[in-house]
Structure 1
C-alpha cells in the first residue's frame, strides 16, 4: 500500500544526511574532509570541514561547521601549509564581495593579501578550478575571473559582448590564472599569468605547477561564431594543454602581469581537461597526465588518459577509448575530472599508479592505472549484500585512499583504504547517523540491476520494498542523454521507495559505462531508440511481477533529456502512464531560443553542428518529428512541469511552451517556477518541491484508482 499523505518528514531526514565532497590527508592518519548538508530550517546548503584522527581502527572526529567564507582550500604536498581562497560579504565592494588569499601553518596565518581589486570571483568548479603549490611551497596558482581590458579610447568597451561559460558559471567569462607569491618578495604579491605571445590563448583554467618556474594550464577557445559552448557535463569542448615558463626576474620586480613564454603541448583538435603532475622520488616533475575526448559529437564520451614524459617531452596514450566491451570487460573511462591527488606509491617508480572513479555499466567504481603500462585494475569490492557505488576523494600519494560509497538504500559513508598488490583493505571511518526507524526502512529496500532481454546492453536499476506484492512504479530516465544512473543514494528516490513505489532507473542506449559504440548509437535516434529501451524496461518489470499495467500503476519523473524522454512516453504511450513530472525538459528540438549548448540539438538529432548551422524549414520538420511536442495532442495523464528560471542549458521557453500547449488543449497540467534555480533544480526549495509534487500527484492518482 502506497503512503499517500503529503508528509515530507521522511524525505527531509534523508536529505539532511551529509555527503562527502572533498578530502585531503593532513598526515598518514589525520583526514581533512569537506561535507555538505541540507538545512531545511535555514533553507540552505551548509558546508562543514571535519577532521578525523584514525588510530588502531578507531576514529575521533571534530567538526568546524559552516565555513561560508571559504570558497576553496588545499593543503600543500608536505601538509605544512593550507592555502585558503576566502570571500566575505561587503556592500562596498563592486560585486558585494571582498576576496583574500591566505596561507596558514597549523593555526597561524603566514601570509594574507586582499585581491578584490586584482580579479573577480574565484573559480571553484571541477572543470576550471585548482589550487597548486610550487615544489618549494612558496607560491600557489589558482583560477579567478580576470578583469576585462577596457581601453579609455573605446567608449563602448564595457558594452561589448563577451560570451560566458554557460550553465552554473553565473556570468563568468574570463577565467585567468593567478600566481600568489609570499616568500620571494618582502610582502605577498599576486600576479596574473599572461602569455607573452599574442597568438596564445587567454582563457585559462585548472593550473598546476610542474617545476618551480613551470605552470601547466588548460586553455579554452571561442568557436568560429564567437561562442563559449557550455562546459559543465560536456567534456567535448575544444581545449588544449599549455606550458608557461614563469620568469623569476619579473616576480622579483613585483610586476602586475607575468609575461610568460607559452608552449602548446597538445596538437590537433582535442578536448582535454584535468592536468595532474606526478613527481618522482627526488621531487622533480616527472609526468603530466590528463584526460582527453573527441571534439564535438555526443557531449560525453569514453575518455582517453594521456601521459607526457617531462624529461623526453614525449606524449603517449596510457588508457585508450573502448568501443564495444564484453559484458565483464573494462568498458573504458567515463569521468569528469581526475582526483586532485590521484597518485599512489610515488616513492617507488616501478609501482607508481594513479587511481580514479569511473562509471562501469550501472555502477561507479575505483580504478587503479599503472603509469608504466596503463594496466587497469578494478579496486572496488564485490559487495554481496549491497551494490554500492564508490567515488575516490583523495590519496596520501603513498598507499592510502580516501573514498565515499553509497547505494540507493544506503546513504553516503566515508572509508579509508590501504592498497597492497592491487588489493585494498577498507576501514569505515564514518557512517551516517540515522534514526533506528529510518535505518530499518532503508534496510527493507531491495536493490537489483536487471538486464532487459533483447535490448542489450540496456539494464535498469530497481529499488523496491522487500515484498512479493506488485507495486506502482516510478520510472526515472536520466538526463544527458550521455550520463548514467549509477547505484548511488538519492533522498527522493529512497523516500518514494519506502512509501511503496518501485523505482526504476533505465540505462538506455546512449548511457555511459557500456562502451563508445553504445554512446554513438543513439545519435540521430533520440525520441525513438531511447523511448523503445525505456518502454521495454517497464514491460519487463511488469512481466517479472514487480509492477503492473493499468490505472494508478505507472508514473514518470525526468529532467532535461530525461524530461524529453518523459514527454515522449506520455505522448507515444498515452494510456500507459497515470502521471508525469518533467524538470526543465527539452520539448521542441527546432525551437532553440537560447542555450549554452546549441550543438546538442543538432548532434543528438544526427546532424553535424558547425559555426554556420541554422535551423532551416526542412531541418525544422525533421526536428519536429523527433520532439515530444509532436505528440502533445495524445497526452492524457496529468503533468507537472518544474522550471528553473536561471537555466542556461534548456531554454525556459521549452517547458513554458509545453505548459501552454497542454493547457490550451484542456489537459491537466501545472507548472512550478523557481526563480533562483538553474538547470538541475537542486536548491533546497527546488528539491523539496520536487518530492512534494511527486507525492501530491502520484498520491492523488493512487487514491483515484483505489476508489474506482
Structure 2
C-alpha cells in the first residue's frame, strides 16, 4: 500500500492518493519475487490526516478531518467497524497530523489506538503568553498522549508524563503493555524544533498503570525510537545539544544496557559510509531482529544501508557508490516489511518511482524490482562535481575537506552563445542537495537553463568535520565554496555561458545568494531569494532558533545569553547587508508574512536599502505563509515569478 501526494493547481491544494500492489513470490524461495501484478486505478484519500495498519494487518486506523471535526475510524475487511467523533468527545485538543499513528491490537478484542493531541487551555488564562515549538509548529505547545479503547469507546489521556517535557514520536511496546516516547524539555524556554535535531530531549518508558521512567542519558538529543519485531530491543538516534542544528547522529541500541551500533563519522573516506543524517523509517528492522536498514546522505548521493547488530558492519544495498552510470542517484528507504524493502528512487531527470527487494543474506546482493516506471523521464544531462578549495580557502581547524555540486542541463545547446546558468543554493545550512528529482531544477532546465546545485562545506553527507568547519565561518567559507564550484563548472563545461549567471536560494541559501551578488557584483546578473537572512544582528531577537544565531557566528550559546557589542558586531560583519552597497544585480525577494525562523523584516531591510539606491528590486509578500513558502499557490507564484525574473535579466 503506497500513499502519494500530488499538487492540484485547479483546486490549489495537495491531493493524497493510494496505490495497491500485489507481489507474488516464488513458492520455493519466498525471497524471490516472481511476479508484480499491475496496480489498479489510484484512489483519492479524501480528508485523511493519518492512517496506520495494525500489526495483524486486519485493521486500519484513520484520523479524518471533516470540516471542523476530527474523526477516528477503524476499518476492517468488511467496512467501517468503528467511528469516534474526537472533537465531540471533547477530551483533548486537535490531533497532531505531523506524526504517524501507532495502532495496537491486544487482549484479543480490546483494540487501542495511540493519538497525539494538545491540552485545552483554560479560558481564564487566554491572555497569558503560551510558548510553542516555533516555525511550522505554531500553537503546538503542550501535547498529550491519548489511548482510545474502541471496545468501550473511551479515550484516556495518559498520565504521569513529566510536566517539563512535550511527548512525541510515541510507539507501543506490546509485550510489556507500555509506551515509549521522546520528551522534549520545555525549560527554561522552548526553541524551534523544525529541522533541528539538537534539542535537549530524552527517551521515556510509560507503563499503562502510570509509571514513567527516563531510559536515556542526560543532556542529549534523541529521536526515532524503533522497537525490534520481538519487542526486546530498542534503537534510536542520538546527538549533542546545541551546536549545529542538524548533524551526524549516532545509532544507539538498548537491550538491557545501552550500546552504540553506529558512531558519529568525523571524516569518511571516499566511497565509505558517511554517517546517519536523517530520520529512521517507522519500520526498519529485519524480521529476525539482527539487522537495521536506513537511508542516509553520502556526499552528493543518498543511499540505502544495512547494519548488522552483531558485527556492526555497514553495507550499501544499492549500486550508488560503485556505478556512476546508474539510472537512479537517490535511494530513500520507505519501509521494511517481513524483509521486503520498499524504496523510492529518483534522479534529476527521473521523477520518483518505487522499487522493492528482499534483504540479502551474507555475501549476497539485492535483486531490485521496479514496481512502476515514472510516467515520463526527461532528456537532461546531469553530472556530479567534486570540488577542492584552494590552499588559501582551506579551513585551518579542519584542513583537507572537499565538497561537491550537481550540474543539470538541457541535452541540446539551445543558444549559440551557450547555456545560461542558475546557481541553486540549499538552505540549512546543514542539509543537502542529493542527486534526486527536484521539480524546481527540472522546471528551469526544461525552460533552457543549466542549474548548478552546490553542496558547500557544512552540507550533510560529508562527515561531522565538514559540518563543524562552517561554525563561525558563515558568510565567508560557504560563499567562497559556492563561487569555487561555479568556477569549476564553467572550466569543465564550455557550453555554459559565463556572462549569463544568476543565483537563487532560500533561507541560508538566500543568505548566500545575497552575499554572492554583493561580494562578486560584476559576476552575477540576477538573484532570486526566498526568506533570506540579511542581517544576523537584527535577526537575533526575532528567530525561533536563537541558539543557531550565536553558534553560526562562532559563539557559545546558553539560555541566559545577553547580546554584547562584540557578538552583534560579529553577526553584522557576517551578513549580506554589509555588502548591499556593492549590489548591481536585480534582486527578487519572496517573503512569508508568518515566517518565524527568518523574520520577513530581514528581506524588507534589504529591499529598503536597494530601493533607496535605485537598484532594481521586486518584493513578493505572502501574508499567510511561513518559512518554507509551501502553500500551493505560493509555490506556483514563486516559481513563475522567478522564471520571469531570470528570463528578463539573463
When normalised by structure 1's length, the TM-score is 0.84
| Worse-matched range after superposition: 650-659 or 384-393 | 384-393
Instruction: State the distance in 2 between where 1:570 and 1:328 align.
Output: 35
Contact conserved, 1:145 with 1:173, CA < 8 A, in 2?
A: no
**Which segment is superposed worse, 366-375 or 387-396?**
366-375
The answer for the alignment partner of 1:452 in structure 2 is 387
Measured against aligned partners, the alpha-carbon deviations of 1:389-411 in whole angstroms (never above 9, x if no partner) come to 01111111x22111111111111
For 2:291, which of 335, 350, 353 is the aligned residue?
A: 353
Q: Counterpart of 1:556? A: 503
Aligned residue in 1 for 2:48: 70
* Residue equivalent to 1:286: 232
**Distance in 2 separating the partners of 1:37 and 1:648:** 27
Question: In the alignment, which residue of structure 1 is the partner of 2:553?
Answer: 605
CA distance in structure 1 between the partners assigned to 2:575 and 2:491 by the alignment: 29
Please say if 1:417 is aligned against 2:365. Answer: no
Matched, 1:579 2:529: no
Indicate the residue corresponding to 1:389 in structure 2. 330
Change (3 A) 1:212 1:64: farther
Alpha-carbon deviations, 1:85-116, whole Å to 9, x = none?
12210xxxxxxx21222222124223222221
Equivalence for 1:40: 9
| Structure 1 residue 212, shift from structure 2 partner | 4.6
Are 1:104 and 2:75 matched, yes or no?
A: yes
The answer to whether the 8 A contact 1:360-1:514 is kept is yes
Q: Residues 308-361 of structure 1: CA distance to partner in whole angstroms, max 9, x if unpaired?
A: 11xxx21111111011111122111110x2111111233xx5xx2121111111
- Conserved 8 A contact 1:571-1:632: yes
CA spacing shift, 1:136–1:655, aligned 2, 3 Å: farther
Residues 392-432 of structure 1, C-alpha deviations (whole Å, 9 max, x = no match):
11111x22111111111111111111222252211111222
Q: Which moved more, 1:448-457 or 1:639-648?
A: 448-457
Once residues 419 and 610 of structure 2 are traced to their aligned partners in structure 1, the CA distance between those partners, rounded to angstroms, is 29
Q: Secondary structure at the match of 2:129?
A: coil
Q: Residues 164 and 186 of structure 2 are in contact (CA less than 8 Å); yes or no, is this contact kept in structure 1?
A: no
* Structure 2 equivalent of residue 570 of structure 1: 517
The one of 127, 137, 145 equivalent to 1:159 is 127
Task: Give 2:396's aligned residue.
Answer: none
Matches within 5 A, 1:271-350: 271-280=221-230, 285-309=231-255, 313-335=256-278, 337-346=279-288
Partner residue of 2:149?
Answer: 181
Helix, strand or coil for the counterpart of 1:315?
A: strand
Report matched runs for 1:15-30 at 5 Å.
Answer: none
Change (3 A) 1:143 1:299: farther
- Structure 2 stretches lacking a partner, 5+ long: 25-33, 391-400
1:291-690 aligned at under 5 Å gives the runs 291-309=237-255, 313-335=256-278, 337-346=279-288, 352-382=290-320, 384-396=325-337, 398-421=338-361, 423-434=365-376, 439=377, 442-443=378-379, 445-454=380-389, 456-467=401-412, 470-546=418-494, 551=499, 553-592=500-539, 593-690=541-638
Q: Give the Cα–Cα distance (whole angstroms) in 2 for the partners of residues 174 and 623 of structure 1.
A: 33
Which whole-Å deviations, capped at 9, do the CAs of 1:432-459 have from their partners, x for residues lacking one? 223xxxx4xx12x111111113364211
Kept in 2, the 8 Å contact 1:119–1:144? The answer is: no
Is contact 2:102–2:172 with CA below 8 Å preserved after alignment?
Answer: no
State the alpha-carbon separation in 2 of the partners of residues 331 and 35 from structure 1: 29
8 A contact 2:319–2:326 mirrored in 1: no
**Secondary structure of the corresponding residue to residue 272 of structure 1:** strand
Distance in structure 1 (CA, Å) of the matches to 2:235 and 2:136:
26
- 1:241 maps to what in 2? 203
Matched with 1:18 is none
Deviates more, 1:592-601 or 1:638-647: 592-601
Aligned residues: 618
Deviations 1:623-643 (A, max 9, x none): 111000000000001000001
Q: What is the RMSD of the two structures over their aligned residues, measured on CA atoms?
A: 1.9
Quote the offset at 1:149 in angstroms.
Answer: 5.4
Alpha-carbon spacing, 1:33–1:548, altered in 2? closer, same or farther (3 Å): closer
Query: What is the alpha-carbon distance in structure 1 between the residues aligned to residue 311 and residue 112 of structure 2?
Result: 32
Q: How does 1:683-702 map to 2 (within 5 A)?
A: 683-702=631-650
- Cα 1:292–1:523 change in 2 (3 A) is same
Partner of 1:4: none
Query: Structure 1: how far apart are the matches of 2:20 and 2:586?
Result: 49
**How far apart, in 2, do the equivalents of 1:140 and 1:221 lie?**
27
Retained in 1: the 8 A contact 2:405–2:453? Answer: yes
Distance (whole Å) between structure 1 residues aligned to residue 639 and residue 488 of structure 2: 26
Deviations 1:534-571 (A, max 9, x none): 000111111113465654x1100100000000010000
CA distance in 2 between partners of 1:145 and 1:203 (Å): 11
- CA shift, 1:307, in A, is 0.9
Deviations 1:192-250 (A, max 9, x none): 11117xx55451111111125211111111132x2x21111111111110001112xxx
Aligned counterpart, 2:157: 192
1:122 aligns with 2:95: yes
Quick one: which of 172, 184, 190 aligns to 1:220?
184
Instruction: Report the counterpart of residue 207 of structure 1 in structure 2.
Output: 170
Gaps of 5+ in 1: 1-31, 90-96, 248-259, 703-708
Structure 1 residue 620: Cα displacement:
1.4
Distance 2:524 2:339 in 1: 51
Contact 1:139 1:179 (8 Å CA) reproduced: no
Q: How far apart, CA to CA, are the structure 1 residues paired with 2:528 and 2:389? A: 28
Pair 1:124–1:547, CA change in 2 (3 A): farther
Taking a change above 3 Å as real, the CA distance of residues 614 and 65 of structure 1, as seen in their structure-2 partners, is farther
Residues in 1 aligned to 2:374 and 2:497: alpha-carbon distance in whole angstroms: 37
Secondary structure in structure 2 of the residue aligned to 1:316: strand
CA contact (8 A) 1:167 1:230 kept: yes
Cα distance in 2 for residues equivalent to 1:200 and 1:109:
37
Q: Distance in 1 between matches of 2:494 and 2:160?
A: 61
Tell me how far 1:136 sits from its aligned partner.
4.9
Shift of residue 156, structure 1, vs aligned partner = 4.3
Q: 2:218 aligns with which of 237, 256, 268?
A: 268
The residue matched to 2:383 in structure 1 has which SS?
Answer: strand
CA contact (8 A) 1:141 1:209 kept: no
Q: How far 1:676 sits from its partner (Å)?
A: 2.5
**C-alpha contact 2:118 2:140 (8 A) present in aligned 1:** no
